[in-house]
Structure 1
Amino acid sequence: MSRSEDEPARTLLGALLAGPVTPELSGRASAALDLPERGRYAVVALPAGGCGGDWCTGPGADRFLRHPGPERDFAVAALGDVEPTLVARRLNEMNAGRGGVGPAVGSLAELSTGRRLAEVALLACPPDGTTVVALEQCLPAALLAVQPELADHLVMGVLGTLLTLPRTERDLLVGTLDTWLECGGSAGRAAAALYCHRNTVLNRLRRLERLTARSLSRPRELVELTLALDALRLTPSRR
């Protein structure tokens, strides 16, 4: 891991992340940070205090520059030939905690864009989550995360009746739907994951369909249910 410990370099890195970036700033930062102006980079966003410890060691990127902040901590990865999803996976293997990885950008001047999108990826992680997620892995949830009022409306519009059930019953149905989706719509695989009979899974899903007035066999309605499930994860007060 490479760290930016001296104040001038740290200031330049902060300026790159904040944007906008002039050619002069890009050139100065390139020299001070020993990074090429043109290159593949990704930004990792974490809650404040998330840059501590040894979680950055060997993340599958060429270099990491850390930049703690008052509200967010950031790390800039020089990707080389790897993809942001690999950075997320390696950080999860190291139990880095909750975080978001932005898409690859092509220059130091684009780091502010990478930072904004990394923050969106972080918002798409459930508040009580413990994983690092790359933006491309959570695009539907990211869209909801930047529109919290719409996300809340979606939850109530699609899952409202379901949420009036007793907590245990509601969690059982929501958990079954979530597992069924993770299993690619296979009731058999979902039953194995939930340690129950296939017909039990099907019965729970049919009840969920009745409660939500939506069918899992209709693509548009399945999309609504999937998005509502993502929105529910992002709304702790509704859970």
Structure 2
Amino acid sequence: MRRGTRYGALLGPLLAGGARPDLVERAARGLGLPERGRYAVVVLGSPVPEGAVVEGPDVDGARWWWGGADGSPGGAEGRGEGRGETREVAVVLLGPAGPDRVVARLRELGAGPGGVSPVVGSPAEVAAAHRLAGTALLTCEPGSREIVRLDERLPAALLVSRPELSTRLLAEVFGPLLTLVPAERSLLVETLEAWLECGGSVGRAAARLGCHRNTVFNRLRRLERLTARSLSRPRELVDLVLALDVLRLSSAPAGPGGGG
């Protein structure tokens, strides 16, 4: 992994978008980036960990070019500016293991939160990958150390890309739920999350939560009444899942959990 003012200056035209093709070509040549290859962009919301910046390829054969702090909002209409994140950006020429190894390497280094773009095929596509990596970063929960690939978070990425619609969705679906005291709200949200993670099994959700299955059933029925949406109707379930994602990504916590 490489870093320095020289690399940062050369990466600028690749990352910013809108640069003339000759500038992109010159920058790629200066960095030693092949005209065709498998590239991904990483955007971190925290400083690059110590030990991440070294010369030469890593064990997978991937080559990294760190461009330093990134002041852009990550292509999601400025949503990143409100989180106070220090953005660090890297262009990665992937090795045989592809982007999964990039994610694993960043986790090994204790980096995060961070977003990894889809794979693109040339330096000319790096600017678009940069925007998508920034959007992936915005799907990480506030305060987390997640490293996520955009392709794993596409529904959430759509939500963070349109914050005004996300806010409206949350109010429309979870409005009555949000009026509850924090502990009560958190209990219903935790139960819904457990039920979803257990594939819609009330029994497995009860085992995970450490309560009776009837308790889970009653909480879910109450949530249905509050939201006027049924977990058994696919379109209404989509509304609930998306609203849950908006709540998860909100900087305001759902509140402390409770028993029962």
In the superposition, the TM-score normalised over structure 1's length comes to 0.89
| Deviation digits for residues 56-113 of structure 1 (CA, Å, limit 9, x no counterpart) | 6858561111111252210111113334344224423432121111111110111000
Deviates more, 1:64-73 or 1:103-112: 64-73
Cα offset for 1:27?
3.4
CA distance in 1, matches of 2:161, 2:188: 27
C-alpha distance in 2 between matches for 1:147 and 1:63? 33
Aligned pair in 2 of structure 1 residues 134, 120: CA closer, same or farther (>3 Å)? same
Does the residue aligned with 1:24 lie in a helix, a strand or coil? helix
CA distance in 2, matches of 1:226, 1:70: 32
Contact 1:61/1:77, CA 8 A, preserved across alignment: no
Q: 2:49, 2:111 within 8 Å by CA — same for their partners in 1?
A: no
Q: In the alignment, what sits opposite 1:216?
A: 231
Secondary structure of 1:141's counterpart equals helix
The one-letter code matched in structure 2 to 1:190 is A
User: Structure 2 length normalisation: TM-score?
Assistant: 0.83
- 1:151 Cα deviation (Å)? 0.8
Structure 1 alignment gaps of length 5 or more: none
Is contact 1:56-1:91 (8 Å) kept? no
The 5-angstrom pairing of residues 61-100 of structure 1 reads 62-71=62-71, 72-100=87-115
Unaligned runs of 5+ in 2: 72-86, 255-260
The count of aligned residue pairs is 236
**Aligned partner of 1:215: which letter?**
S
Aligned to 2:118: 103
Quickly say closer, same or farther: Cα 1:149–1:60, change in 2 above 3 A.
farther
| 1:10 positional shift | 2.7
1:183-221 C-alpha deviation (Å, 9 max, x unpaired): 222222222221222222222111111111111110000
What code does the residue aligned with 1:204 have?
Answer: R
Distance 1:60 1:132, change over 3 A: farther
Q: Partner of 1:228 in structure 2?
A: 243
3-state secondary structure, aligned to 1:233? helix
Partner secondary structure for residue 74 of structure 1: strand
1:55–1:96 contact (8 Å) kept in structure 2: no
Provide, for residues 23-42 of structure 1, a one-character-per-residue CA deviation record: whole Å limited to 9, x for no partner.
43343233322221111111
* CA contact 2:42–2:90 (8 Å) conserved in 1: yes
Corresponding position of 1:51:
48
Q: Closer, same or farther in 2 for the Cα pair 1:140/1:177, shift >3 Å?
A: same
Shift of the 96–172 alpha-carbon distance from structure 1 to 2, 3 Å rule, reads same
Query: In 2, distance between residues paired with 1:211 and 1:221?
Result: 13
Paired residues of 2:206 and 2:213 also in contact (CA < 8 A): yes
Counterpart for residue 132 of structure 2: 117
| Contact 2:15-2:126 at 8 Å conserved across structures | yes
Amino acid at match of 1:235: S
Secondary structure of the residue that 2:38 maps to in structure 1?
strand
Return the structure number with greater relative CO, CA threshold 8 A, min gap 6: 2
| Cα distance in 2 for residues equivalent to 1:60 and 1:218 | 45
Q: Point out 4+ residue stretches in structure 1 off by more than 3 angstroms.
A: 55-61
Tell me which amino acid in the other structure corresponds to 1:63.
R
2:193 counterpart of 1:178:
yes
**Relative to structure 2, which stretch is displaced further, 63-72 or 205-214?**
63-72
Once superposed, what is the RMSD of the aligned Cα atoms? 2.1
1:157-202: CA deviations, max 9, x gaps?
A: 1011111111111101001111211222222222222122222222
Q: Deviations over 1:111-145 (max 9, x none)?
A: 00000001111112222222111101111111110
Q: 1:172 to 1:60 in 2, by over 3 A?
A: farther
Distance 1:151 1:83 in 2: 32
